[in-house]
Amino acid sequence: MGSVLGFCLSSLSTDNWIDITALLINSILAGWVILVVQKNLANKRVLKDHFIGEIKDIQNEIKDFFKLVHSNKLPEATVLSWFKTLNIRIDDTMLEVNKKYKIDKTTLSPFQVELRNITTDSPEYISAFRSGNEITFSQATKNAFYKFQQDNMKLFNMLIISINNK
């Protein structure tokens, strides 16, 4: 067996050796390129998944807020700090999404401005201010919250789709 292999190798011309060497080098390079490209694609997907997860977390926080509003269990004492925390999360997330994917960083601004205004400008909030009690919103104010949800909750899905498409 060894003599057959030795005979085959010794009978190869210089052109054959060049072809074999080129084939080996190309195979190694192809393997390296595949590994690097796969790693970069995986890293990009992980980053997208991270931002999408952050956006879903913010969306869930807002849904929880609406549940408290509609069940009349929103503690007045936590409203302003909740909005501050929400604004920080949205600003931080959208700043990075804007840098990485060139998506408008004001996409979620309605949740920072309009939602706060509906809440803190409502007569129910004003009368409960500094009482520490839960706020009982009127049906008219709840209807304003429903309208806000109807008009703006789609922004989260649009943002997720935009990130996925980049």
For residue 60, which of 135, 137, 143, 160 has the smallest C-alpha distance? Answer: 160
- Helix, strand or coil for residue 73? coil
pLDDT tens digit sequence for 5-20: 555 556 667 776 676 7
**pLDDT tens track for 79-105:** 999 999 999 999 999 999 999 999 999
Q: Is the pTM of this model over 0.85?
A: no
65 pLDDT exceeds 50? Answer: yes
Question: CA separation (Å) from 117 to 113, 123, 144, 154?
Answer: 6, 11, 11, 19
Domain boundaries defined on the chain: 45-165
